[in-house]
Structure 1
């Protein structure tokens, strides 16, 4: 699903996200979706894709109707159904155990008869529906819930005048009790938290906009620009103007290994980086160890807020995070997220922010030279129009790399000038759904195959099924020995300044030596 696409749900709809992330508009509400989310949507709803791009979304789409049996009349009539919580849609986070059980169940069904499979499908459907009706447990005491309400209020109204009395009323406790409990929970008095929050937002404005200090002061709740400057200096140790000039002296925590790789290439060493051990390529692992960057290990698609808080960073940066996670991190540090996966754009953006334009330009020249040298080596293949395809084998199907996205897509089809099979040119996403028939029709001269690496799911069975099929054996690339197996951690998650050079070497070696 690509940005701008609109889908109408004429039936009740269940969607399970098995890979990636996205931002949708469901009936006028912006919704951030990620791996493990289960979404129930009532009939006659619409879903608009606001952000898909290279966020790698995949999952199951199930439609159903509800009926009632009228025993007296002996008839069946359509019955109303509504999501238990929410208005027209509901989102539930499935547990790792539930996701693993799905994979195990689907693998077991391969040996079942038709009737047994039907029962299993019904059990699976009711298992999903049951998760909608589970009441969330909470171990938070009433006072803590009240403090969290007051924090949410601060984050929504930080640009307005807010008093401790007002916050205590929102929390439902006395001012004295509120201040004491707030300090225990957050480590600082409530008005200090509010001041820090405002300064974090000011730091973001200074980096992301060209607004004056006076305009920024008013925007974040300071009427007096001189008082704002004093508070800013008290908090950041320097004036707003000097803050922008000395960003490279700040402690940076990257929630993206790719961003950390680019920063290190520019001479900016992050204090810490969030990584998923399964998906970190070898060159990044060695790079982080060499420069003493602390690696915060987390499961795939998860952001551990507690880890980040413990590091006490001065800047948090990375790619996509959900709005809910962003809200929780905004009290920790200024956040620069939503950054691209395109290494060239990252180079220039970081070069500008950290005053490393000269280093960024030098690295860009080196990367251009590497690409030009590769084009020379591959000139005969490029000129012949021989097609190159990247096929992803996933636990529940197949996808192919589109020709109009960022990262390795842009490297292969734009910068190196390799040809995508014509039948696949319509794919607008980063990775697009692909059937075995589509693969046969594309029949590429050269085929790179990625066996998707994921936690909770395994693509081995689909890989085996693919290679045992008759259509696979008839592919030109298979018959000519032009099939090459690639690593998710490098090609998908590691295409940085160093990683891109490694990928280019793999492409040249594979195509030239065969």
Structure 2
């Protein structure tokens, strides 16, 4: 290859298939002998040393990636007292040959190492973590992981081949991201300046000019922010939390915490939990408040989740308007992470308004419910509610067993010109997990939902079908569109040939927007009764 641009242009012509991801942290030499069919992408997050690839020696440092040949052994020799932290991503490479109308796909074996400088470590780390999370979960998650892998390669190739020099602002932003990702580890001005590639004093002055705080002050702020969340949502000791967020001991942590908030950790927890100014930023979290007979101080109120319209004493946040949220002056904000999205910036903004608890996207509804109950000091009420829910679910499950038997059932969502099937989460957690109704094989591989056609429904071939809403925005116009879509479906010959439709085993659940499909305790309790009514009537 003549130059790096040619190398990346060539790499862009291939197809890539993700195979495996390993996260390795070690203070010893790593020797890797690659599988003949697999290429390796080595993403170095931290560490310095030399890499010997087929007799060729390459120096490496943090914020670098290497595409390594498949047939050559790789030896990594670390500098003295250095620790390597890296991702080892293995993948297949294919080339499409479409000459003379005879298209074929052949494996490619790269025979040269490619060195890549990473300009946005935080972005790459988040992409790799998301891919690692999806690998091995289901065929559709594997597909999503592979799509994300292609996107990551494009990001790496384009950023490096552009030859664009990072500005000082970019370097400061990079170290801010690094602090957000690694706040619990030992960090110093020196190590952060090294990441930025600057002199320590120059880096510190520039950081304060751009951020308004010194690097150490910013690090303390991030640690205190995470400590607040853990203090409020757990029963861990101050010593445990101090260590978890990166402070050397509980006494130093307490001094810093009081300097930052004006309160000791214990007083802060007591004050926050006694407050009635707790805000919910998601409908599924608001549902937990309602199940606990608590009106949130402020929440989003609309017809997407109709029950919110009954909250008489709750401030309407007008679709999560930040200005409205700031005016309410809350003592605590509860939200939930977004799927497939790095929302660290939003978290920082919210945390400047009030302490913010962000519940994990992949957490189940019962763990969310218990967390909120803990914050509201209603653990006993939550335990009783869950006990009663389990008793009700078991009673209804026994009734349905005699009626439904071994029949399979799917949940079809109808939206604006689109259909979906709901999987094991959302409404599916009640239908398949709590009521133990049988899911067709195809549904077992869908964690949330998947858009489908009528032909797909024929392939699923379920005995029974619940029809509900899909991506309803709460408007009357959407109500009309969904009604029209359902009317069109029942005029469609293919629809009427579905087994569930032929046998009159279709149950309507689409008149209440997302009242029954919201992934929350309140909706699930309503859904138990509704399914009981629909199937047994």
Question: What range is the shorter-chain TM-score in?
Answer: 0.5 to 0.7
**C-alpha contact 1:395 1:462 (8 A) present in aligned 2:** yes
| Separation in 2, partners of 1:421, 1:165 | 53
Q: CA deviation at 1:229?
A: 0.8
Q: CA deviation at 1:411?
A: 1.6
Indicate which of 174, 192, 195 corresponds to 2:220.
195
| Separation in 2, partners of 1:165, 1:86 | 18
Indicate which of 498, 502, 507 corresponds to 1:475.
498
Structure-1 residue corresponding to 2:429: 410
Structure-to-structure mapping, 1:61-100, within 5 angstroms: 65-66=95-96
Q: CA deviation at 1:258?
A: 0.5
With over 3 angstroms needed to count, the CA separation of the structure-2 counterparts of 1:426 and 1:149, relative to structure 1, is closer
Indicate which of 438, 453, 461 corresponds to 1:420.
438
State the secondary structure of the residue aligned to 1:296: coil
With over 3 angstroms needed to count, the CA separation of the structure-2 counterparts of 1:64 and 1:486, relative to structure 1, is farther
Structure-2 residue corresponding to 1:231: 256
| Separation in 1, partners of 2:396, 2:182 | 54
State the secondary structure of the residue aligned to 1:324: coil
RMSD: 5.6
**C-alpha contact 1:320 1:337 (8 A) present in aligned 2:** no
Instruction: Kindly indicate whether residue 527 of structure 2 is the aligned counterpart of residue 503 of structure 1.
Output: yes
Structure-to-structure mapping, 1:425-464, within 5 angstroms: 427=445, 429-431=447-449, 436=454, 439-440=457-458, 443-450=461-468, 452-453=470-471
State the secondary structure of the residue aligned to 2:247: coil
State the secondary structure of the residue aligned to 1:280: coil
With over 3 angstroms needed to count, the CA separation of the structure-2 counterparts of 1:68 and 1:480, relative to structure 1, is closer
With over 3 angstroms needed to count, the CA separation of the structure-2 counterparts of 1:444 and 1:29, relative to structure 1, is same
Structure-2 residue corresponding to 1:120: none
Structure-1 residue corresponding to 2:412: 391
| Separation in 1, partners of 2:444, 2:271 | 46
Q: CA deviation at 1:232?
A: 1.3
CA deviations on 1:193-229 (whole Å, 9 max, x unpaired) are 3322111222344456665433443454433532321
Structure-2 residue corresponding to 1:349: 371
Structure-2 residue corresponding to 1:265: 291
Indicate which of 341, 359, 373 corresponds to 1:337.
359
Structure-2 residue corresponding to 1:291: 314
| Separation in 2, partners of 1:220, 1:268 | 31
**C-alpha contact 2:411 2:467 (8 A) present in aligned 1:** yes
**C-alpha contact 1:341 1:406 (8 A) present in aligned 2:** no
| Separation in 2, partners of 1:334, 1:395 | 34
| Separation in 2, partners of 1:472, 1:165 | 63
Structure-1 residue corresponding to 2:79: none
**C-alpha contact 1:67 1:76 (8 A) present in aligned 2:** yes
Q: CA deviation at 1:464?
A: 7.9
CA deviations on 1:463-506 (whole Å, 9 max, x unpaired) are 78855554422334324544334349526752423322433343
With over 3 angstroms needed to count, the CA separation of the structure-2 counterparts of 1:295 and 1:260, relative to structure 1, is farther
What stretches of structure 1 of length at least 5 have no aligned partner?
1-9, 15-23, 31-42, 48-62, 93-128, 299-303
State the secondary structure of the residue aligned to 2:342: helix
| Separation in 2, partners of 1:269, 1:164 | 48
CA deviations on 1:24-78 (whole Å, 9 max, x unpaired) are 9875589xxxxxxxxxxxx96799xxxxxxxxxxxxxxx99555979xxxx9998
| Separation in 2, partners of 1:78, 1:268 | 61
With over 3 angstroms needed to count, the CA separation of the structure-2 counterparts of 1:360 and 1:465, relative to structure 1, is same
With over 3 angstroms needed to count, the CA separation of the structure-2 counterparts of 1:219 and 1:464, relative to structure 1, is same
CA deviations on 1:341-390 (whole Å, 9 max, x unpaired) are 644343333333442112213333453465466557757524x5554321
State the secondary structure of the residue aligned to 1:351: helix
Q: CA deviation at 1:152?
A: 2.6
**C-alpha contact 1:280 1:494 (8 A) present in aligned 2:** no
Q: CA deviation at 1:281?
A: 1.9
**C-alpha contact 1:68 1:78 (8 A) present in aligned 2:** no
State the secondary structure of the residue aligned to 2:412: strand
Structure-1 residue corresponding to 2:58: none
With over 3 angstroms needed to count, the CA separation of the structure-2 counterparts of 1:472 and 1:176, relative to structure 1, is closer
With over 3 angstroms needed to count, the CA separation of the structure-2 counterparts of 1:296 and 1:147, relative to structure 1, is farther
TM-score normalised by structure 2 residue count: 0.56
| Separation in 2, partners of 1:258, 1:470 | 37
| Separation in 1, partners of 2:390, 2:228 | 34
User: Would you say how many aligned residue pairs link Structure 1 and Structure 2?
Assistant: 405
State the secondary structure of the residue aligned to 2:170: helix
Q: CA deviation at 1:262?
A: 0.5
Structure-1 residue corresponding to 2:381: 359
Indicate which of 209, 219, 239 corresponds to 1:214.
239
State the secondary structure of the residue aligned to 2:377: coil
More displaced, 143-152 or 257-266?
Answer: 143-152
Structure-1 residue corresponding to 2:265: 240
State the secondary structure of the residue aligned to 2:186: coil
| Separation in 1, partners of 2:415, 2:304 | 19
| Separation in 1, partners of 2:363, 2:292 | 16
TM-score normalised by structure 1 residue count: 0.58
| Separation in 2, partners of 1:165, 1:445 | 62
With over 3 angstroms needed to count, the CA separation of the structure-2 counterparts of 1:46 and 1:442, relative to structure 1, is farther
Structure-2 residue corresponding to 1:281: 305
